[in-house]
């Protein structure tokens, strides 16, 4: 079993020729080489801007290369609860932003010719308990009436037509969405950005950003520095660099994934005939899908801790037990990959984007970042170009998480609360 991301291990290398020092000038310096940064570099380059992108590690090696590979419509929160929190109009706007995010991913794949095994199969949210199905039915009625008629409620009598497990009591199918190979998508975005002139630097952690008296910024990294008229912060839950303001507003929560050996086309056809992307309704939920080479990608919170060794392996053991509980037929299936990553969770589980102290930013995707990060890269290019109204999160305030200074001391408490609540709800 490899303790590394399947997506990163099986993706081609990002074609970089920026082997020397970081230097010179640019219209925009982007800090972070995940989907937000790469998408923004592509979109800005298409507008004729000069771009330098700096990543502390490997391009696409953070959350963008460590997630479950799902690209789906649907906010991180329950739509009914979100409506109660924000009001119907704002909740609808959030839902439609995520639908637009799926469109952005599909458009980029099509226009840039990105080979990433994309399959438009939708997402099925699976009810883990009878009362969860009743709640999904209420949610489906609200969504269908107010924002998205293209959904389907699947009852317990038909759920085995979608997934061969006795542990589910129905589900909510959202058809607009799909799944893809994260590593290949990152490489495709990087290639698209470079075709438009962006300079991409790996292993160049930013150590300082200095506002210049004459305007613009000096962005300092361990590989040199660049002067830029504008800066976009797209770091995710970075633990390093001059980003304390952002760290106080993001809880970096670990999420963990295992990937099985290839199951074979016949097994996949019997177990997951429509090859949806799946997620369960528990607070300590699981998410899973099948890859192009018939492996099962199976993830979840597992443990409320950061991703690091030997934590990933222990979390992988928990996921193996969960897999066997949901699918006894895979109890003895070999696990080929196990890894973890960090989710940049905001207090209300909604993204934030805009400007702080003159710097542009887009962060806080809260576990739904594959599509939204890509979309927000495109959007932030518009915002930097003067179209602030394009930003769907422009009127969301972003207070610091009380008592949070960057180190998530409260995660074990939250994890214990979720486990207890899962028992009773």
Q: How far apart are CA 77 and CA 90, in angstroms?
A: 13
Tokens, residue 262: 């290839």
What is the end-to-end Cα distance of the chain in Å, rounded?
Answer: 35
For residues 340-362, average pLDDT: 94
What pLDDT, on a 0 to 100 scale, did the predictor assign at position 14?
81
Mean pLDDT estimate for the chain: 92
Tokens, residue 383: 């915002």
Q: Do residues 344 and 372 lie in contact, with contact meaning Cβ atoms separated by under 8 Å?
A: no
Lowest mean pLDDT among 71-80, 119-128, 226-235: 71-80
What pLDDT, on a 0 to 100 scale, did the predictor assign at position 417?
47
What pLDDT, on a 0 to 100 scale, did the predictor assign at position 284?
72
DSSP assignment of 301-346: --SSS-S-TTHHHHHHHHHHHHHHHH-GGGTTPPEEEEEEEEEEE-
Q: Do residues 354 and 379 lie in contact, with contact meaning Cβ atoms separated by under 8 Å?
A: no
Q: How far apart are CA 360 and CA 380, in angstroms?
A: 8
What pLDDT, on a 0 to 100 scale, did the predictor assign at position 238?
79
Tokens, residue 348: 């209300």
Q: Do residues 175 and 162 lie in contact, with contact meaning Cβ atoms separated by under 8 Å?
A: no
DSSP secondary structure letter of residue 22:
B
248-277: b (≥16 Cβ within 10 Å) or e = bbbbbbbbbbbbbebbeeebbeebbeebbb
Residue 100 backbone class (left: φ over 0; alpha: ψ -120 to 50; beta: rest): alpha
What pLDDT, on a 0 to 100 scale, did the predictor assign at position 16?
74
Q: 310: cis peptide before it, omega within 30°?
A: yes
DSSP secondary structure letter of residue 147:
T
Q: Domains of the chain by range and CATH?
A: 6-413 (3.50.50.60)
Residue count of the chain: 425
As a whole-number percent, the residues of the chain with pLDDT over 90 amount to: 81
Query: Which residues have a Cβ under 8 Å from the Cβ of 354 and sit 6 or more positions away?
Result: 360, 361, 383, 391, 393, 394
Query: Which residues have a Cβ under 8 Å from the Cβ of 92 and sit 6 or more positions away?
Result: 146, 147
CA nearest to 257, candidates 297, 291, 290: 297
What pLDDT, on a 0 to 100 scale, did the predictor assign at position 161?
97
What pLDDT, on a 0 to 100 scale, did the predictor assign at position 315?
85
Residue 55: pLDDT above 60? yes
CA nearest to 27, candidates 4, 45, 5, 2: 45
Q: How far apart are CA 9 and CA 176, in angstroms?
A: 29
Cα–chain center distance at 232: 18
Residue 64: pLDDT above 90? yes
Q: How far apart are CA 303 and CA 135, in angstroms?
A: 26
Segment 368-420, tens digit of pLDDT: 889 999 999 999 999 999 999 999 999 999 999 988 877 766 666 565 545 65
For residues 109-120, average pLDDT: 98
Q: Do residues 376 and 353 lie in contact, with contact meaning Cβ atoms separated by under 8 Å?
A: yes
CA nearest to 38, candidates 56, 18, 53, 17: 53
CA nearest to 17, candidates 195, 214, 246: 195
Cβ burial, residue 353 (10 Å; 0-12/13-18/19+): buried
CA nearest to 298, candidates 263, 266, 273, 265: 263
Segment 134-169, tens digit of pLDDT: 999 999 999 999 999 999 999 999 999 999 999 999
pTM of the predicted structure, to 2 decimals: 0.94
Helix (H, G, I), strand (E, B) or coil at 276: coil
Residue for token pair 């330098």? 52
Residue 424: pLDDT above 60? no
Segment 295-318, tens digit of pLDDT: 999 999 755 555 555 567 888 899
Q: How far apart are CA 85 and CA 73, in angstroms?
A: 19
Query: Which residues have a Cβ under 8 Å from the Cβ of 335 and sit 6 or more positions away?
Result: 1, 258, 259, 260, 261, 316, 320
Q: Do residues 256 and 383 lie in contact, with contact meaning Cβ atoms separated by under 8 Å?
A: no
Q: Do residues 228 and 219 lie in contact, with contact meaning Cβ atoms separated by under 8 Å?
A: yes
What pLDDT, on a 0 to 100 scale, did the predictor assign at position 76?
62
Segment 204-242, tens digit of pLDDT: 999 999 999 999 999 999 999 999 999 999 998 777 889
pLDDT band of 367, cuts 50, 70, 90: confident
Helix (H, G, I), strand (E, B) or coil at 120: coil
């Amino acid at each position: 079993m490899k303790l590394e991301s399947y997506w990163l291990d099986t993706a081609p290398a990002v074609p970089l020729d920026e082997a020397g020092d970081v230097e010179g000038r640019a219209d925009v310096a982007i800090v972070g080489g995940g989907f937000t940064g790469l998408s923004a570099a592509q979109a800005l380059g298409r507008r004729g801007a000069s771009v330098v992108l700096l990543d502390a590690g490997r391009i696409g090696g953070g959350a963008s290369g460590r997630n479950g590979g799902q690209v789906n419509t649907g906010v991180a929160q329950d739509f009914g609860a979100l409506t109660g929190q924000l009001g119907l109009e704002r909740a609808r706007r959030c839902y439609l932003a995520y639908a637009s995010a799926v469109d952005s991913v599909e458009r980029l794949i099509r226009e840039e010719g990105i080979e990433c095994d994309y399959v438009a199969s939708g997402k099925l949210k699976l009810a883990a308990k009878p009362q969860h199905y009743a709640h999904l039915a209420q949610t489906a009625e609200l969504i269908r009436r107010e924002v998205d008629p293209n959904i389907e409620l699947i009852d317990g009598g038909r759920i085995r037509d979608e997934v061969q497990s006795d542990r589910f009591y129905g589900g909510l199918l959202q058809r607009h969405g799909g799944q893809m190979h994260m590593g290949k998508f990152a490489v495709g975005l990087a290639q698209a950005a470079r075709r438009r002139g962006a300079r991409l630097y790996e292993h160049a952690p930013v150590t300082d950003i200095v506002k210049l008296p004459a305007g613009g910024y000096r962005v300092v990294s361990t590989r040199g520095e660049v002067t830029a008229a504008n800066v976009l912060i797209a770091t995710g839950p970075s633990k390093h660099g001059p980003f304390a303001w952002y760290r106080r507003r993001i809880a970096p929560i670990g999420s963990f994934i295992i990937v099985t050996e290839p199951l074979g086309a016949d097994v996949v056809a019997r177990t997951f005939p429509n090859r949806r992307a799946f997620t369960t309704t528990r607070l300590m939920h699981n998410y899973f899908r099948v890859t192009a080479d018939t492996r099962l990608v199976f993830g979840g919170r597992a443990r409320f801790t950061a991703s690091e060794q030997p934590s990933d392996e222990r979390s992988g053991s928990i996921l193996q037990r969960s897999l066997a509980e949901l699918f006894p037929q895979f109890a003895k299936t070999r696990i080929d990959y196990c890894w973890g990553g960090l989710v940049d969770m905001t207090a209300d589980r909604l993204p934030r984007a805009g400007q702080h102290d003159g710097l542009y930013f887009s962060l806080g995707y809260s576990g739904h970042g594959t599509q939204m990060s890509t979309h927000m890269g495109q959007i932030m290019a518009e915002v930097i170009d003067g179209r602030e109204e394009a930003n769907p999160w422009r009127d969301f305030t972003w207070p610091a998480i009380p008592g949070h200074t960057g180190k998530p001391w409260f995660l074990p408490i939250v994890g214990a609360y979720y486990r207890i609540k899962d028992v009773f709800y």
